[in-house]
A and B are shown apart, each in its own frame.
Chain A
Amino acid sequence: MSEAVLFVDDDEDLCEMMRAILTKLGVSRVVVARSLRDVEAQRDDAITCTIAILDINLGNDQPSGVKVYEWLHREGFTGRTIFLTGHAGNDPRVQEAASLSGSVIASKPLSVPELRDLIGGARQAI
């Protein structure tokens, strides 16, 4: 894999683990962020990624993953988006994310093979 992946989740431990596993899976560049503000701070690195893995719920009073998606697309992001969620399919935020074009919804916890398949699928769709 030679993609650049943007991973956004409010959990610091998960961000670090994801950076490590994605690197191990052969992703050439991993950009991690914990909020929309973090993503904005790394704008150039973020919008040049080919795949964005976004947690839908980024914590209380924080813009959701859907807002991050909208911001990325406004800024010129052209890659594929995978929404990662720990919430049920009938959660309104999950339903909003599912309605966005070019996005995939995946439920936490993902096993490593599932993660590899998702990234592989997103790469083929690009």
Chain B
Amino acid sequence: MTSVLWLAFGLSLGAAVLHAALGLTRPVDRTYLSFAFMMALLGPYLYYEWVLYRATTGAEAVVAFRSQITIAHCFFGGLLVFVPAYTKARVPRWQMAALWGGLALLFAINIIAPYGIWFSAEPELERLTFRGEPYTAVLAPPTVLQGVHTVYVLGLMVFTIRCAIDLIRRGERQRGLVLAIAISVSVAQHLVDVVRDAIGGSWPYFAEFAIVSWGLIMSIQLAIDFRTTRERLQETLSETEERAAQLAELVNASLHVRDKLNTPLQTLEIGLAMCKPRNRDDIETLAILRRDVMELATLGRNVERAAQEQCFIPTEELAK
């Protein structure tokens, strides 16, 4: 059992460091940062699990379990930040307020209650062995507060799955499914424990590792997300560079046309100034030609101005 705890401890510590580094890189990312916070909490959570396995008295078990539940409450706080940030789901304010309020209440009860939120009295201990290693299991008769706590945790899971479904509906199928699967695995572990108690099994409780397995699955998904985002950014950057090069070519081509136009326009301008109209028709024709030369000159200036501003000129603007 100790080796399993050490393995989980190493995984959670690695995930905490990695995701904290990703989350703290500017601009700060709440998804990675909240996940790193949750993973960092797994360290002390697993330590108290180890303490619990070695508990010899009910009082020791109460201290270890109360500490574990306090850490789990902090983990749930992280989850309330992580899930909306990860799924970008629009959660009604009242719903968030209810979840935070409920969590604060459970947190306070766990601290204040004489035996924590899970026990109504000092629990009985059971000495078991797993693969030759002895460990302590706690027998806790059901209480009202346990029920309230379980309802809250189930509510939190429903909230997470609803946000995951929102994500799937918005087209991010894989990310949504992984979140839903990760939370379902945690629920399944609790169900296995129910079966264990029902048939009198002697294997360790799986629920104790529910948070670790959730963290492991989400850690992999977040790493994939990071890679995908980086690839998308790279693609967007390449496309932008390509478009910028095309734009520069177009601007240069327009400037080249403008440059080639200027000398003939200058010749026309002077030529028209030199012409002496002989009759009324000549006067009208010259006026039209002068106006056209002026329009072409204006077009050339607009091309130059737009090139200096490094932007496209709308067709209607060119025509002005």
Contact = CB atoms under 8 A, between A and B. Distances in A.
A125 interface: no
Contacts of B301: 107
B259 A86 contact: yes
Given A14-B266, A17-B270, A24-B274, A109 B307 contact: no
Interface centre among B261, B263, B268, B270 (most CB of A within 10 A): B270
Contact of A86 (B263, B268, B270, B308): B263
B267 interface: yes
A126 interface: no
B263 A20 contact: no
Nearest to B304: A88
Contacts of A86: 258-263, 266
A67 interface: no
Contact of A14 (B261, B267, B274, B304): B267
Nearest to A12: B267
Contacts, number: 62
Interface in B251-308: 255, 258-271, 273-274, 293, 297, 301, 304, 307-308
Interface of B, helix, strand, loop or mixed by DSSP = helix
Interface in B199-233: none
A88 B308 contact: yes
Given A17-B274, A109-B268, 19 more contacts: A9-B263, A11-B263, A13-B267, A17-B266, A17-B267, A17-B271, A18-B270, A20-B274, A24-B274, A55-B263, A86-B258, A86-B259, A86-B260, A86-B266, A87-B255, A87-B259, A108-B262, A109-B262, A111-B269
11 contacts: A14-B263, A17-B267, A17-B271, A24-B274, A86-B259, A86-B261, A86-B263, A87-B259, A89-B304, A109-B297, A115-B270
